[in-house]
Structure 1
């Protein structure tokens, strides 16, 4: 693989530009993409700066100049939107209680996806990186944003249909459901269908219109 060339190398740097080398967007993107691919394939523990450099086609020092540690690099890759927990949207939800059936369908779809090896590797990496970087929860918020947006849409639909009361704390319900799914991946404990249904019952009972 050809190495991605950095702009403004020391020999060719124009006078007056100042000290140091300017960032090269092409190299940055190659490094972030390599980090994502290797993380999904091999997991966080096996990820090394040398392997990232090799895959990106840059020198290892190029990676270290931009990111001082593996955890900071993985954190920036996740914050860039390069990865997300893409829970599938359940479709054609049917049942006697549309609100609770929609919640159940979402939970089951999400639980199925986090049993995928690549998703498990990424979620476990997220826990390690978040613990090593003081990001005030931004990693989790960015990483789960697509899934959370879809889930909130389902809950708002439940409000419009009358099954969920207006004024209910939908954000808290979404956080509880996403947390339950992430816990499944982190503990290597597949969620039992019965436990997911029970969680849906408890949540919707608390949100239900009176």
Structure 2
């Protein structure tokens, strides 16, 4: 998937520059000076909003991950049950995350950057994804296609499932075995989601 480029504001120009630097050399070797130079802004402009590279990369990940999730959601179709749109969107989103070049770079070069969001606390991107999920679940409760339950708990459970299939799939898949490919696990994910959410 080609990274999404936004050129309509200085903030997005800085995030674009940060993304290009991370893709080139990884997070640990990226400096605010490099990002400022690439974005065509002063270092002081960056320091006013981002005190260090990790804060900047955190905002970058939020922008990219939320864009991936939003793009994966099927367009609104009043004839399609929310359950179908939710399962389709989650499955497509997990696939898109795994294919995203920024995600690949971080996993390959700086995986420790993701550990706090897996082990200790939620990040801004996770909270944004949870908001999308809660809204979709409430729609599903209303149209009767999704099992009625506590929507926040349901959303957090869905995100836990999606994170496992995104972050840990390479430890379980085997592309030399047709029954254990990433695509086969995507089918398994779809089945898990359908069985979890069907009333």
- Fold shared per TM-score above 0.5: yes
Q: Is the contact between residue 93 and residue 102 of structure 1 (CA under 8 Å) also seen in structure 2?
A: no
Q: Where in structure 2 are there 5+ consecutive unaligned residues?
A: 1-8, 171-181
Q: Could you tell me which of 81, 86, 106 is aligned with 1:103?
A: 86
* TM-score normalised over the length of structure 1: 0.58
Instruction: Say whether 1:203 aligns with 2:180.
Output: no
Q: Is the contact between residue 83 and residue 146 of structure 2 (CA under 8 Å) also seen in structure 1?
A: no
Query: Cα 1:71–1:89, aligned 2, differ >3 Å: closer, same or farther?
Result: same
Alignment of 1:63-82 (within 5 A): 67-75=50-58, 77-78=59-60, 82=63
Could you say which residue in structure 2 is the equivalent of 1:113?
A: 96
Superposition deviation, residue 128 in structure 1: 0.8
Could you say which residue in structure 2 is the equivalent of 1:131?
A: 116
**CA distance in 1 between partners of 2:193 and 2:89 (Å):** 10
Q: Deviations over 1:132-175 (max 9, x none)?
A: 9xx953x2xx2145543443333222212223354x11222222
Alpha-carbon RMSD = 4.1
Superposition deviation, residue 28 in structure 1: 7.0
**CA distance in 2 between partners of 1:188 and 1:43 (Å):** 22
* TM-score normalised over the length of structure 2: 0.60
Could you say which residue in structure 1 is the equivalent of 2:139?
A: 157
* Count of aligned pairs: 171
Query: Cα 1:129–1:150, aligned 2, differ >3 Å: closer, same or farther?
Result: closer
When Rg is computed on C-alpha atoms for both structures, the one with the higher figure is 1
**CA distance in 2 between partners of 1:28 and 1:151 (Å):** 27
Superposition deviation, residue 200 in structure 1: 1.0
**CA distance in 1 between partners of 2:11 and 2:83 (Å):** 44
